[in-house]
């Protein structure tokens, strides 16, 4: 799957249903019928929506971990905590389970933001605060992560 593009402001109804924006649906058209996995983010108070093919790629890596090592077992348990299979229904809606709404602090207004090959689902206020907090250090971070001069990993 190609990288996803576009940040969208959306609303969640009282039942936790999110109407998938048409621009995002178009980008996901090839994977819509395979379904998705929705889970808690590791680093942020948001949710991560994995197309099933992306989830399988991650799970292949996780399945290589030695489960007889406690830290691996703990990681696997926490990584999968709250993960759910979800589908976009015929009306283009995705149902977010109540416990995941609670984890992410989602109210009515949300932001859908791509993270390369997955989608982050944020409460709008938390997203804006995270972007504002990160803006201060972004130039330094960009230089550190993408600014290598001596190899092909940087971008210009």
Q: Where are the alpha helices (DSSP H) in 4-155?
A: 22-28, 52-62, 70-80, 98-104, 124-135, 138-146
Q: Total domain count for the chain?
A: 1
* Predicted confidence pLDDT, tens digits, the chain (156 residues): 567 888 899 999 999 999 998 888 888 888 888 999 999 998 899 999 999 999 999 999 999 999 999 999 999 999 998 899 999 988 889 999 999 999 999 999 999 999 888 999 999 999 998 888 766 677 777 778 788 765 555 554
CATH code of residue 95 = 3.40.1550.20
Contact 36, 85 (CB under 8 A): yes
Amino acid 150: pLDDT: 56
Q: With contact defined as beta carbons under 8 Å apart, do 36 and 52 qualify?
A: yes
Say if 100 falls within a structural domain. Answer: yes
Tokens of 48: 């991560």
The parent domain of residue 137 ranges over 8-146
In sequence order, which ranges of 15-122 are alpha helices (DSSP H)? 22-28, 52-62, 70-80, 98-104
pLDDT given at position 33 = 86
pLDDT of residue 2: 65
- Residue 117, domain member (yes or no): yes
């Amino acid at each position: 799957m190609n990288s996803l593009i576009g940040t969208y402001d959306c609303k969640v109804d009282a039942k936790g249903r999110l109407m998938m924006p048409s621009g995002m649906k178009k980008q996901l058209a090839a994977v819509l019928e395979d379904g998705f996995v929705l889970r808690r983010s590791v680093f942020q108070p948001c949710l991560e929506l994995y197309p099933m093919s992306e989830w399988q790629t991650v799970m292949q890596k996780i399945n290589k971990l030695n489960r007889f090592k406690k830290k691996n077992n703990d990681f696997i348990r926490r990584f999968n905590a709250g993960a759910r299979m979800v589908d976009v229904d015929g009306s283009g809606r995705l149902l977010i389970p109540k416990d995941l709404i609670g984890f992410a602090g989602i109210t009515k207004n949300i932001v859908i933001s791509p993270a390369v090959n997955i989608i982050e689902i944020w409460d709008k206020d938390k997203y804006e605060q995270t972007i504002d907090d990160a803006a201060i250090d972004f130039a330094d971070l960009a230089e550190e992560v993408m600014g290598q001069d001596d190899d092909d990993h940087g971008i210009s």
